[in-house]
Chain A
Amino acid sequence: MTHGASAHHRSDGPQAGHAGAPSHDDLVDEKIIVCYYVAALTFLTISMLAGLLVALQLVHWNPFKGTELLSPGRWRMIHTNAIAYGFLANAFLGTLHWAVPRLTFHKVFSKPLSWFIFGAWQVVVLSTAFGIVLGPTFQDQPWILALAKKWHLPMNLGAQGLEWGETPFWIDPVALVGLALVAVNFMVPIGKSKGPMYVSLWYFMAAFVWTFLTYAMGNLLPEYAVAGTSAGAIGGLFIHDLVGLFVTPLGWGLMYYFVPIILKKPIWSHGLSLVGFWGLAFFYPLQGIHHFLYTPIPMFLQYGAVISTIAVELVVATVVINFFGTLVGRGKEFFDNLPIRYFYTGMVFYFITCFQCALQVTFTFQKLIHFTDWVVGHAHLVMFGVFSLWLFGIMTYLFPRLLGRPWWSRSLCEYHYWLSAGGLFVMFLDLTLAGIFQGYYWSSLQPWDASTNGSQPFWITRVFAGLAMFAGLLCFLVNLWMTARGAEATDPLPARAAGTPTA
């Protein structure tokens, strides 16, 4: 066990008062965490409603047909961007304000800076949303077309043509400054800490560097520097790295932090932690082109991307084995302890995702499933099944500590878990199957309508799976509201199970 991990055991709980160790209240600004979580949950709600709108459009049930500002094409981009930048980024930033100071024994670099970043990030997310929704409406301006003609650049007021890089060009510089400040704010306490770093800090530190570089690469190069096939290669690298080098390392870093704390035992194998981190760091960024197989991007680069994807699957297996090794002997916690159940459910989904990845990047699979709903199912499994579930688990654990009282309703916590995990799993199976059907409809050269009509049963199922996930979120929001306003707990979770602070 490393120094860092034993260190945060010493400071566990608000009452930490060992000699030399600063108290929790000195280290952690709990207010900003609550604000980040409120922002995150707000954007998650918006994102899920946007997803619902698109799902209804596909089954011909869109109630807002022909309404320009509610166009499914625009709200599809709200759906994905609100998840990445609104929900995941906000929830991660909030949680880092808890984890980093407690791991390093140092406050973040500057409290005013933290609040500035919080404000700036909400401006970035809201500007992205307004840009996407209003951009095409106001696109047709003489000065924009004049600039586009003069510079030979796309100049979209609204979305730019790269997935997850839709952030309008006029907000990109603010987002980049924000990401640089995030790195400074959290790297200073990490830099000040003494002795070898705990695993979580490896992941966090790398993530701060990677996120900035990835964002800069994807939002600048394919728009301003290169065109054509090489821009496609950069685009693939960007959409891949945003998951692999921003979301994934922050997610795993937090797992390495919260799982040992809640289980009150160290991670099973330090060696496997090392293999997991360095394997991910090396192989993950090499795979971008696997999103664009069979394109005119040079074939040897496509083969390289496929091979490194299969390699990272082996690395992922070591990480998952390490966490299940940690759980050995404490398996009962999976059933009794809600945050642990969220974490390990996410890890099972993570393993499925990565196993699926190793298969679906092969050229054989790509022939059939590229461009189909299989890919959409895969994306939901990663973003919701893994990282959102982990963040729900973390929030379930932290909110009682932040608010100083137990959850209002234990059963609503359970409903949140079952509706989220169950709904997601149904959606994943449904879309995966839909993808196989669509692939065969297309390659058998039936009229195009055969594929969209044949998808209807799957798309209808998807609407209901999505509604279940949304109902889970509503349970969580109601529970949070009642807890926050101090309602008498109806059926409180046993202290251990909801991670309620124990006296």
Chain B
Amino acid sequence: MFESKSGIFFIAGIGFFLLAFLGNGVVPMIMYKDRHEQTVEEVVNKRVMAQFRDLAQRYPESFHNAFGEPTEEACAEALRLGRQLYVGEGCWHCHSQFVRPVSNESRRFGPVSKSEEYDNELQRPVLFGTRRVGPDLSREGGRRSNDWHAVHFHKPQVVSTDSPMPEYPWFFDGSPDKPNRRGIAVMTYVQWLGSWLDEYPYYEELAEVTGE
């Protein structure tokens, strides 16, 4: 058995693989099977809508060309595109989306991550991350203004002097006050991160949500 073709093919090859898959993969799937996976339309909330409208006010011409009116439907589209770009540009290789219960992380970033935070379409596949060159972003939404993000994406060193982050001038039509569709989408996505938590730190008072 230990040196025969069938033993190696069926026991080691298929058997042990399936055993590990059952234990490490199927068990959590069964445990979480009753959880509802939210669609992008369902994760659009008041807070991200406030940021989305803020983008429309700050960059009216750019925004109108990119998404028309700041409707919930347009916001869902921006979130989808923003997440696709966040993955495609490799942001997740330097920024995690997962706050651990150790190493003072909850004091730096915010509440420790919970399982239900990841049950949505924008976490396919889940972006826990494995490396932090820059900080965790899962509670980034609202911490900084859209203007800050625009300047930062255009040339990070302007607002964060020693940052080793690359520049993303292709998110803009020439200058940071003219974000294009990609730029607005990515900013919407970043402002959405953490918007589902109890606390959402407003960098600036946004009139539409202060009464929330």
A interface vs B, CB < 8 Å? Answer: 2, 57-60, 62, 65-66, 68, 71-74, 76-77, 132, 135-137, 139-140, 144-145, 148-149, 152-163, 165, 190-191, 196-197, 202, 205-206, 208-210, 213-214, 217, 221-223, 226-237, 239, 241, 245, 274, 277-278, 281-282, 285-286, 288-289, 291-292, 294-298, 301, 304-305, 366-368, 370-372, 375-376, 439, 442-445, 448-449, 452-453
Q: Is the CB of B133 within 8 A of A226?
A: no
B50 close to chain A: CB less than 8 A: no
| CA gap between A217 and B22 in the complex, in Å | 12
| CA gap between A210 and B103 in the complex, in Å | 36
Q: Is the CB of A140 within 8 A of B80?
A: no
| CA gap between A462 and B122 in the complex, in Å | 35
Which chain A residue lies CB-closest to B96? A371
Minimum C-beta distance from B91 to chain A (A): 6
| CA gap between A297 and B98 in the complex, in Å | 12
| CA gap between A95 and B84 in the complex, in Å | 38
Q: Is the CB of A140 within 8 A of B20?
A: no
Q: Is the CB of B166 within 8 A of A152?
A: no
Q: Is the CB of B3 within 8 A of A202?
A: yes
Which chain B residue lies CB-closest to A218? B125
B interface vs A, CB < 8 Å? Answer: 2-5, 8-9, 12-14, 16-17, 19-21, 23-25, 27-29, 31-32, 35, 37, 39-40, 76-77, 80-81, 83-85, 87-94, 96, 98, 100-105, 107-108, 113-116, 118-121, 123-135, 160-164, 166-170, 181-182, 185
Q: Which 4 pairs of residues, A with B, have the shortest CB-CB distance?
A: A73-B90, A209-B13, A136-B88, A285-B20
- Contact for A289 among B24, B84, B132, B161, CB less than 8 A: B24
Minimum C-beta distance from A373 to chain B (A): 8
Known: A371-B132, A445-B104. A228 touches B12 (CB 8 A): no
Minimum C-beta distance from A243 to chain B (A): 13
- Contact for A58 among B17, B20, B133, B161, CB less than 8 A: B133
Known: A228-B126, A274-B2, A449-B162. A154 touches B102 (CB 8 A): no
Q: Is the CB of A288 within 8 A of B118?
A: no
Q: List 13 A-B contacts (CB under 8 A).
A: A68-B169, A73-B166, A152-B39, A155-B84, A190-B5, A205-B13, A209-B14, A228-B32, A245-B17, A281-B12, A296-B113, A448-B135, A449-B160
Minimum C-beta distance from A304 to chain B (A): 7
Which chain B residue lies CB-closest to A138? B88
| CA gap between A291 and B25 in the complex, in Å | 14
Minimum C-beta distance from B75 to chain A (A): 13
Q: Is the CB of A57 within 8 A of B166?
A: yes
Q: Is the CB of B31 within 8 A of A197?
A: no
Known: A229-B32, A231-B126, A453-B162. A160 touches B87 (CB 8 A): yes
A292 to chain B: which residues have CB within 8 Å? 128
| CA gap between A289 and B21 in the complex, in Å | 11
Minimum C-beta distance from B165 to chain A (A): 9
Q: Is the CB of A228 within 8 A of B31?
A: no
Q: Is the CB of A227 within 8 A of B126?
A: yes
Q: Is the CB of A231 within 8 A of B102?
A: no
Q: Is the CB of B90 within 8 A of A77?
A: yes
Minimum C-beta distance from A186 to chain B (A): 13
| CA gap between A483 and B2 in the complex, in Å | 43
Q: Is the CB of B77 within 8 A of A237?
A: no
Q: Is the CB of B123 within 8 A of A196?
A: no
Known: A227-B121, A285-B20. A205 touches B131 (CB 8 A): no
Known: A228-B35, A449-B162. A73 touches B93 (CB 8 A): yes
- Contact for B125 among A158, A235, A281, A439, CB less than 8 A: A235
- Contact for A298 among B31, B84, B89, B128, CB less than 8 A: B31
Q: Is the CB of A375 within 8 A of B130?
A: yes
| CA gap between A196 and B8 in the complex, in Å | 12
Q: Is the CB of A301 within 8 A of B24?
A: yes
- Contact for A231 among B124, B163, B169, CB less than 8 A: B124
Known: A197-B8, A442-B103. A278 touches B123 (CB 8 A): no
Known: A59-B164, A286-B20. A206 touches B90 (CB 8 A): no
Q: Is the CB of A376 within 8 A of B166?
A: no
Which chain B residue lies CB-closest to A442? B103
Minimum C-beta distance from A478 to chain B (A): 32
Known: A294-B101, A296-B118. A226 touches B29 (CB 8 A): yes
Minimum C-beta distance from A428 to chain B (A): 16
Q: Is the CB of B93 within 8 A of A76?
A: yes
A239 to chain B: which residues have CB within 8 Å? 130
B128 to chain A: which residues have CB within 8 Å? 232, 235, 292, 295
B160 to chain A: which residues have CB within 8 Å? 449
Which chain B residue lies CB-closest to A80? B93
A136 to chain B: which residues have CB within 8 Å? 84-85, 88-89, 182
- Contact for B120 among A205, A227, A439, A442, CB less than 8 A: A227
Q: Is the CB of B98 within 8 A of A158?
A: no
Q: Is the CB of B104 within 8 A of A139?
A: no
Which chain B residue lies CB-closest to A77? B90
A213 to chain B: which residues have CB within 8 Å? 14, 17
B181 to chain A: which residues have CB within 8 Å? 140
If A154-B84, A228-B116, A232-B128 are given as contacts, then 19 extra A-B residue pairs at C-beta distance below 8 Å, sorted by A number, are A59-B164, A72-B90, A73-B89, A139-B84, A145-B81, A149-B80, A156-B87, A197-B5, A209-B9, A210-B13, A213-B17, A227-B126, A229-B32, A230-B25, A281-B12, A286-B23, A286-B24, A368-B103, A371-B132
Q: Is the CB of B77 within 8 A of A149?
A: yes
Q: Is the CB of A140 within 8 A of B182?
A: yes
| CA gap between A227 and B130 in the complex, in Å | 18
A65 to chain B: which residues have CB within 8 Å? 166-167
A237 to chain B: which residues have CB within 8 Å? 20-21, 24-25
A2 to chain B: which residues have CB within 8 Å? 3
- Contact for B37 among A210, A227, A295, A371, CB less than 8 A: A227
| CA gap between A63 and B101 in the complex, in Å | 39
| CA gap between A5 and B113 in the complex, in Å | 53
Q: Is the CB of A376 within 8 A of B131?
A: yes
Q: Is the CB of A159 within 8 A of B77?
A: no
